Amino acid sequence: MVTRSTDNYEQHKKDVYLEIKKRFGEERADKFIKFYSSRWDKFQRSYIDYRVAFKMVDEYYWVKKVGTRFYAIVGSGGTGKSTLAINLFYFLDTTFDIKRANITTVSDFLDKLDEYPKIGAMKSLYMDEPDNQAHSLSKEGKKIADVAGRWRQQQMFLGILATDIRDIPLTLFNKLHGIIYLPKHGTGIMYRDSPNKEQIVMNALKKDYKQIGYAVFYKYINKFPNLRFSTHKGVIFNEEELKEYKKIKADDYSKTIKEAKQILNKNSKKYKQNPHLKEILKLKKKGLSYREISKKIGITPGRISQILSKNAV
């Protein structure tokens, strides 16, 4: 039984050390507890489950030796995705700060990525419910995929938070090395590829998730190696930083609402000015040609072309 760090931090560390030593030997226990202490001693408590921490120390040294690792943290609203991400990415990189906890676009993520050394950065960075800015086959989508295909050399700890994996841009979805699923607040399940142990599970998870959604995590719970763990409520930010973090999130939400309203108002105005536009777009989506649409709504193909060129939605 491991003592909770919030009850008695020093006893907690002793218990964790003995657990790791019993399962993996003294050398790994010594190495782990040194890393663990370097992160949590200043707080006199741990902010992530020691079992997750143990796996993440493996990831840390893998990134240092081989290259970037990329995780998704998935779960419905209120399950604690942001809290876990903040604590997890701080554990991997103690320079992690508030600004890196509020990245909500792929564009901003790439800008931030560009700030760090292109070789041996050893920094953590994640996107929180990012917008899907570019289709995977578009010019922009291919460029994003090109960056993701080469970020291994930068040696980063990267993440993406999503309510549903299907919300993740496909160009990034295909690069995932691991998924952490939070079925409810306080509980997590982690699946990850472990190339050094020849355990490659992500291909199967990615493929099946498209068909059966969250059920995939339970389908493979006894088939593939996974880690079930507890999550914590607190975050590493102090009270002042936490206020700033919440303000940034609130401002970002307000910005998103404003942008959505502008688009809706713009489109509404277009539809009022061009009563045929909505029907044309509906028929065009079904694959009808301008000539076929013309016969259905009674205006010339030339006029249809003119309406679409002036009022693309």
| Amino acid in the structure at residue 222 | N
Splitting the chain (313 residues) into consecutive groups of 10 residues, what average pLDDT does each group show?
95 97 96 97 97 95 94 92 96 94 87 94 92 57 83 95 84 88 93 75 82 83 88 91 86 79 70 75 82 84 79 58
pLDDT of residue 272: 66
pLDDT of residue 227: 92
Interatomic CA distance for residues 157 and 88, integer angstroms: 10
- Burial (CB < 10 A; 0-12, 13-18, 19+), residue 93, is middle
- Which DSSP string corresponds to 255-293? HHHHHHHHHHHHHHHHHHH-TTHHHHHHHHHTT--HHHH
pLDDT of residue 61: 94
CATH architecture under which domain 47-237 falls: 3-Layer(aba) Sandwich (3.40)
SS (H, E, C) 173-224: HCCCCEEEEEEECCEEEEEECEHHHCECCHHHHHHHHHHHHHHHHHHCCCCC
Q: What pTM did the predictor assign?
A: 0.80
**Pairing status of strand 187-192 against strand 178-184:** antiparallel
